[in-house]
Amino acid sequence: MPFGMSNSAATLALQDAIIVGLDAEWYEHDASLITELGVCVLDPRTIPKPSSNNTTGPSPAWDILAALETHHVRIKPHAHLVNKDFCSGYPENFQFGSTTFASISTAQKMLRSIFLRQDEHASPRPVIFIGHAVDNDYEVLKQRFGIDVLSLGTIITTLDTQTMAIEQSLSPNNRQISLKNLLAHYGIQEQYLHNAGNDIVTTLITALLMAYPTPPTPTPTPTALSYANLKPLLTSFNTASSPHRPSYGQLRFCTKCDSELHTLRHCKVSMLHCDFCAADPKSAPQCHTHKTDKCGDAARTRATNKATAVAPKTQNAVPCQWCVQSTDPKRYKGREAYGHESAECPFLEQVV
């Protein structure tokens, strides 16, 4: 409860608060390069009231989720960086709406607009912020986008699905649980995790399923069926042209040639040039397949040089891949990342 707010005022704020979920994906070799943002919004003014008479069907959480506003935004300067070395990324496989491409400044405007959404009196709506390992999300917003959401004064409480899972004894030995394992508890499998949009939608799904458990049934099929039905419902509800939701960025952007008239899938540009690959005899044959600023080898080299410059000398030649990916500066800024190997990472369960 915000300082100075009475109990009655806090109750009213909670009843009218919008739920905002956020997830970010970043380049696996350099956590400072954010590649995707996933944002979802639940407004209590637009969702149906859960039925108290549901004793045999799916959880009432699915009725609530039908009103979910979703956004999946790929950050244009970094959108060409697709993770594949440590874990596969799926930026082109958003399952719950439209994907748009946005500049960093447009992404900043989106975040401010959502966290400062106003009511009919032009007053900011109170916000319940939700995420899976929310400390990472705070760091992303503050360090990568220059937005300190806590200082905006709209967040009245924060929910972390990792903490919720521990409180409900869903996590073995009270350890941090991965999103994949939390979904599995409810019989849900999502093929395209590590897509920021999918991750935040499924995070909100698990939060609501913990709040509104599925009534006992002989088999777990009601939850699985409800999840499958939700995808086309939200996809049609959250098209970029939907009048009831704001849209940020543009639908067309080519991560290969930077054209705003088509996407990578329809790119017909065949002759480009990469100075980095041209200078290396081993990679010279592929120097005409991409631009210098889109070169994956160059990005990995820059990331390695940056990490080596700040890392203390240890016996480990290879850093912990999980800590290198983390947005927590205590982990990725050298000492922690280079202090142990991936198999020994104490933070392993925090990774999806």
* pLDDT of amino acid 351: 46
- Judged by average pLDDT, the poorest of 40-44, 188-192, 217-221, 239-243 is 217-221
| pTM (two decimals) | 0.83
Give long-range contacts, CB 8 A cutoff, 24+ apart: 214-218.
214/58, 214/59, 214/186, 215/54, 215/55, 215/56, 215/57, 215/59, 217/56
Higher-confidence residue of 195 and 221: namely: 195
Sheet holding 30-42, edge to edge: 99-102, 69-75, 30-42, 18-27, 127-131, 155-160
What is the CATH topology of the domain spanning 7-237? Answer: Nucleotidyltransferase; domain 5 (3.30.420)
Question: Is it the case that residue 196 has pLDDT exceeding 70?
Answer: yes
Q: What is the pLDDT of residues 323-339, one digit of tens each?
A: 766 656 666 555 566 66
> Which amino acid, residue 214?
T
pLDDT band (50, 70, 90) for residue 343:
low
Give the pLDDT of residue 193: 96
Residue 166 has pLDDT above 70, yes or no: yes
Domain ranges of the chain: 7-237
Distance CA 117, CA 2 (A): 18
Residue 228 has pLDDT above 60, yes or no: yes
Q: In Å, how far are 9, 80, 195, 209, 324 from 141, measured between CA atoms?
A: 28, 21, 17, 27, 18
Mean of pLDDT over the chain: 85
Decide if pLDDT at 8 tops 90: no
Average pLDDT for 159-183: 89
Query: What is the residue-wise DSSP string for 222-255?
Result: HHHHHHHHHHHHHHHHT-TT-TTS---SBS---T
pLDDT at residue 1, rounded to an integer: 45
Say what the pLDDT of residue 27 is: 94
